[in-house]
Amino acid sequence: MHRVKVDALTPEMSVPAREWRHLRVLRLRAGDTIRVFDGRGAEAEATVSALHEGGATLTLGASVEGAAETPQPVTLAIALLKGDKLADVTRAATELGVARIQLLTSRYADVPDIGPAKLERLRRIALEASKQSRRAVTPDVLAPIPVTQLRADGPAFIAHPGTHARLTDHLTWDAPVTVVSGPEGGWTDAEVTHLERAGFTPVTLGPRILRAETAPLALLGAIVATGV
């Protein structure tokens, strides 16, 4: 069933222009049923009540339980990566249930910053991936902050080769969860010191060297494999 993101679930809804071209190719007719979601966890059935040039009106139907979300929101905080790596991580992280992707600048990040066009592209990728993975939440992709300003508002983890601590042993769902993932060039000592002071728990991903685009998926894979 086709899923359309709307601004809010209201009794009567217009299909936003950005969604309209997806709907057009389906050749929907008045009376057809689709799914609508607001990107913040609410999802419902909706009936096409009217079609007109360049748009459609939808009537809200029964709500659908948003069963695809983790018990608390998970944030992936990730250093800027080169080329399409950040796009690939955004897509997979969305499938793996993150609620938020916080981009980070850091001393050895692959690129120093990200432009508005690239940021917008990541947001579109997160939207598409949330639809394809049947989620009612579209992760926010937040403009970069320096890693030295990153705060943890609950259980927070950083992969570290030198530790034997396991993420899943420390995974309580009593507050939002954050996992942080570094650039190809690693963190500076000062950045590591900040993260430790900010309460990030070092956890193991085994003794091998993982690329910067593989490590975040391994961390998130470990979380989803617990069944959330």
Q: Whole-number minimum distance, CB 107 to a second copy, in Å?
A: 22
Which residue is listed with tokens 């963190």?
Answer: 187
- Judge whether 87 and 119 are in contact, CB under 8 Å: no
Rule CB under 8 A: is residue 209 a binding residue for a second copy?
Answer: yes
Dihedral angle at the C-alpha atoms of 183, 165, 101, 218, nearest 10 degrees?
A: 80
The nearer residue to a second copy, 167 or 195, going by C-beta atoms, is 167
In angstroms, the CA 14 to CA 171 distance is: 41
- Residues between 53 and 72 with contacts to a second copy, criterion CB under 8 A: 67-68, 70
Rule CB under 8 A: is residue 42 a binding residue for a second copy?
Answer: no
- Residues between 95 and 154 with contacts to a second copy, criterion CB under 8 A: 95-97, 132-135
Rule CB under 8 A: is residue 92 a binding residue for a second copy?
Answer: yes
Enumerate the β-bridge partners of residue 44.
36, 63
The nearer residue to a second copy, 48 or 81, going by C-beta atoms, is 81
The nearer residue to a second copy, 105 or 138, going by C-beta atoms, is 138
Rule CB under 8 A: is residue 211 a binding residue for a second copy?
Answer: yes
139: which DSSP letter?
P
The nearer residue to a second copy, 30 or 165, going by C-beta atoms, is 165
Structure token digits, residue 119: 């940021």
Q: Whole-number minimum distance, CB 212 to a second copy, in Å?
A: 11
Which span (27-35, 51-59, 117-125, 160-168) binds a second copy, by CB under 8 A? 160-168
Rule CB under 8 A: is residue 167 a binding residue for a second copy?
Answer: yes
Q: Whole-number minimum distance, CB 133 to a second copy, in Å?
A: 4
In angstroms, the CA 194 to CA 211 distance is: 22
Q: What is the DSSP string of 43-64?
A: EEEEEEEEEETTEEEEEEEEEE
Proportion of the chain in helix, strand, coil states, percent, rounded to 5: 25, 30, 45
Rule CB under 8 A: is residue 206 a binding residue for a second copy?
Answer: yes
Longest dimension (CA), the chain: 61
Q: Using CB under 8 A, which of 24, 123, 166, 194 touches a second copy? A: 166
Cα 209 to chain center, whole Å?
25
In angstroms, the CA 5 to CA 24 distance is: 15
Q: Whole-number minimum distance, CB 12 to a second copy, in Å?
A: 30
* Contacts with a second copy, residue ranges (CB under 8 A): 67-68, 70, 88, 91-92, 95-97, 132-135, 164, 166-168, 203-211, 214, 217-222, 224-228
